[in-house]
Amino acid sequence: MQSVLDLLHHTVTSPWVYLVIIVVTAVDAFLPVVPSETVVITAGVFAASGEPNLAAVITAAAFGALVGDHVSYGIGRGGAGRLACSPDGSRRRAGSDWARRAVDRRGGSILTTSRFVPGGRTAVTLTMGAVRYPLPRFLLFDAVAALVWSGYCGLLGYFGGLAFERDPVRGLLVGIGLSLAATGLVELARWLRHRARRRAAAGR
């Protein structure tokens, strides 16, 4: 275990860690099997001991997330025309119109909340591209969402590292556990709200 920890410490305290954070958080936007939260939290845990720099970790994560989201947005925007021309085009256009109205009304909150839902970030950014959500507004809301997310993950790891300064492995596990718990609570709240709406619709 100590050799694994030493290797992890050497990797995370290397100047290359910021590039790794940027790449991982970018790829996670359109390939959500990449564990970007874990990477940022891990860097935050080790930042509690001085290296890497916490502000640089948060900045790198936010920048990578912003780049990846725009790639995902571009993929969605490029595929919108093919969806509209498909044999089931009328039904797809109806769904596209509904999605456009939803993101027009709550684009910023949807983009921010989706980051804490497994797979939600990819689905929302692709949809925003597909419905041709205005790029300047997407950039503004996404920059805020990326900064909120990166700050949350970085600080979660950092305070976990401070609490378990003599046992960084435990601090890392606690940080990741808190992240999963927070994501689970968001999912539970979303499910309860959806269930309440279904009951209200059934009652009417």
Q: What is the pLDDT of residues 22-54, one digit of tens each?
A: 999 999 888 877 778 888 888 888 888 777 899
pLDDT of residue 102: 63
Amino acid at 83: L
Q: Count of residues for the chain?
A: 204
Question: What would the two tokens of residue 60 be?
Answer: 């790198």
Range list of H helices, the chain: 2-12, 17-27, 36-47, 54-84, 89-114, 120-130, 135-163, 168-203
pLDDT score recorded for residue 156: 84
Question: What distance lies between CA 38 and its chain's CA centroid?
Answer: 11
More confident position, 37 or 62: 62
Q: Which two tokens stand for residue 91?
A: 């039904």
pLDDT exceeds 90 at position 69: yes
In the predicted model, is pLDDT for residue 5 greater than 60? no
Of 103 and 74, the structure prediction assigns the larger pLDDT to: 74
How far apart (Å, rounded) are the C-alpha atoms in residues 152 and 88? 41
Instruction: Determine the Cα–Cα distance for residues 131 and 191; give it in Å rounded to an integer.
Output: 25
Angle CA(24)–CA(32)–CA(89) in degrees, nearest 5? Answer: 130
Q: Are 48 and 171 in contact (CB under 8 A)?
A: yes
What's the confidence (pLDDT) of residue 60? 95
User: Percentage of the chain with pLDDT > 70?
Assistant: 63
Query: Higher pLDDT residue, 135 or 164?
Result: 135
Q: Show me where the domains of the chain are located.
A: 2-74+134-203
Cβ distance 36 to 146 under 8 Å?
no
What integer is the mean pLDDT of 80-85?
Answer: 47
Report the C-alpha gap between 134 and 113 in whole angstroms: 19
Quickly state the pLDDT bin for 92 (edges 50, 70, 90).
Answer: very low
